[in-house]
Structure formats: C-alpha cells, structure tokens
Amino acid sequence: MFDFNIDFGLNDNDIEEFREVIKSNEQFLCIRLVNHGGRCPQCGTFTKCVKEYKLHKIDHAVYIDRKSSIIYYARRFICPRCRKTFYEENPFSSEYTFLFLIRSIALSQL
C-alpha cells in the first residue's frame, strides 16, 4: 500500500478521502485533502469557502512494475472579499512534485 505520509509528508488528519484502484495493470491513487482553508493571494483574506473541485491526474512512479497516477480532487476557493478564485496548497504540485521526482529517480537507481 502507498504511504502518503512517507512520500508527501501527509498524515491521516490531512486526508479526507482515499482509495486505490487497479485497472488494466495501471494503479490510480484517488485522494481528496481535508479543507484547511487558504489565504487569498490577492487580498490576504483567509477562507474555507469552496467554489468547486477540479480533477487533476498526476503521472507518478509508485511502483516500477505498473503505471501509476494520482487522481487528486483539487479544491478551488473563492475569496468572500475580492471574489478571486485560487487552489488550495497541496504537496502534489510546485516544488514538492519536483522534490518527489528527484527522490523517485534516486530510488529507482538503487
């Protein structure tokens, strides 16, 4: 079983929903994070007001013997003050993804 705590620094309190699906020798790790809210990048207002969820598929090398992907239900917030929309912070994008890819490559060469 995949451990999000080890690979992405998440613990059980951060995960709202998780399921693992294997279909045609491809593994899908479906995850939704707990709503911890976020700060509007425009005006700095803190909000937990969700506008929508967007499905993101992130190709990922969990196992060497099969193709793996993370299906992440990305939460989009809407600021109640300035109405700007923005994504929640998550460990699956930006510098976290880059660090994970470096780690995956290093582990695959062992």
> How confident is the model over 33-60, as pLDDT tens digits?
999 999 999 999 999 999 999 988 887 7
Torsional sign, CA 28, 25, 5, 89? negative
d(CA 87, CA 78) in angstroms, rounded, equals 9
pTM over 0.75: no
Taking only the tens place, the pLDDT of each residue in 68-103 is 888 889 899 999 999 999 999 887 765 444 444 444
For tokens 């994070």, the residue is 33
